[in-house]
Amino acid sequence: MTTEADLRSQAREWLVLLNSGRASAADHAAMERWRRTSAEHAKALAEAENLWALLGQVERPAAIVQTMPRRKRRWPLPLASAASLLLALWLTPPGWYADLRTQAGEIREITLEDGSRLQLNGATALDWNADADGQRRVRLYRGQVDFQVAADAVHPFVIEAGEARIRVTGTRFDVNLLGDQVLLAVSEGHVQVSDADGREQAVQAGEQIAWLAGRLQSPQPLDAARALAWQRGRLVFRDRPLPEVFEELQRQQTQQVLFLDAAARELKVTGVFALDDPQALLRAIETALPVKLTHLPGVLLVSSDG
């Protein structure tokens, strides 16, 4: 199931491609087919075009690829400030107002009021609440967390992440919110999980389970070497689609990533990389895969090469 956030992201990628000076007639036709897929697709593209126009980018799209210098457009200060604010809002990740947050590349350990210990991966945001009745709740907006929940049989600990619902009384597990997927890896005890459709499942230590587009999947044996590698300072990929690799990478650096064509999205990555050296991963991707990475201020463009 394609979410509203997915459609907005895809619409932005179409605009970057079509205004890059590299788009062919086939690209324009493909975008038009994408727009006509549904009313939601058309709305997402219209919203992206309106914001793009407000940012002043539509008038000079070819500047990205031109080799001859051109005089920069100078905006009056109020307009420039407004454009900067709009761009910041466009690129702001969910959960920027959350109670607990980490920056890209920051790993942070937190002890909650109830004694539960949390280790947050980079670019993670969550809300924590313990109400008067003793109910313990976490809302994970983005990122990845290793939970060591303090035992309390009377007051369950509930985590919401996307459409995933996780309920425990005291155990250790890892929750990874990655796009429209949620991945749960249980290392100690057992966890009760459910989805928006009411499906429920018990997950035991040594098992992992995923929600795909909000739907709960079947438990699988825990692949701790991959799922928990970040806790040991590693990124481990086994035949992982390139968009998922870049989403994990964005927890370690602040560049936004935009794909310019579908072919690049289909490529997959296998390897082990140091968590604190994202540039090494980028070099490996460009060396091993038929892709071109174009670095712009705050943005990384990914396109197929060949």
- Work out the mean pLDDT of the chain and round it to a whole number: 82
The pLDDT of residue 51 is 64
CA dist 245 → 179, 251, 252, 275 (Å): 11, 10, 12, 12
- pLDDT tens, residue by residue, 8-21: 778 877 877 777 66
Q: Which of 12-16, 61-65, 189-193 has the lowest mean pLDDT?
A: 61-65
Q: Which of 63-72, 234-243, 277-286 has the lowest mean pLDDT?
A: 63-72
The pLDDT of residue 151 is 92
The pLDDT of residue 57 is 39
Q: At what angle do helices 77-91 and 39-54 cross, to 10 degrees?
A: 150
pLDDT at 274 over 90: yes
The partner residues of 240 in beta bridges, in order of sequence, read 269
Buried b (16+ CB within 10 A) or exposed e, 254-264: ebbbbbbbeeb
pLDDT at 200 over 90: yes
- pLDDT tens, residue by residue, 17-55: 777 666 778 778 888 888 888 888 888 888 777 666 554
pLDDT at 62 over 90: no
In sequence order, the 6+-apart residues with CB closer than 8 A to the CB of 271 are 236, 237, 284
- pLDDT tens, residue by residue, 116-170: 999 999 999 999 988 767 789 999 999 999 999 999 988 999 999 988 999 998 8
Q: Spell out the long-range contacts of 276-284 with Cβ–Cβ below 8 A and sequence spacing 24 or more.
A: 276/105, 276/233, 276/252, 278/105, 278/249, 278/252, 278/253, 281/235, 281/245, 281/249, 282/249
- pLDDT tens, residue by residue, 71-116: 344 444 444 444 444 454 455 566 667 889 999 999 999 999 999 9
- Single pTM value for the model: 0.70
- Three-state SS sequence of the chain: CCCHHHHHHHHHHHHHHHCCCCCCHHHHHHHHHHHCCCHHHHHHHHHHHHHHHHCCCCCCHHHHCCCCCCCCCCCCHHHHHHHHHHHHHHHCCCCCCCCEECCCCCCEEEECCCCCEEEECCCCEEEEEECCCCCEEEEEEEEEEEEECCCCCCCCEEEEECCEEEEECCCEEEEEEECCEEEEEEEECEEEEECCCCCEEEEECCEEEEEECCEECCCEECCHHHHCHHHHCEEEEEEEEHHHHHHHHCCCCCCEEEECCHHHHCCEEEEEEECCCHHHHHHHHHHHCCEEEEEECCEEEEEECC
The pLDDT of residue 52 is 61
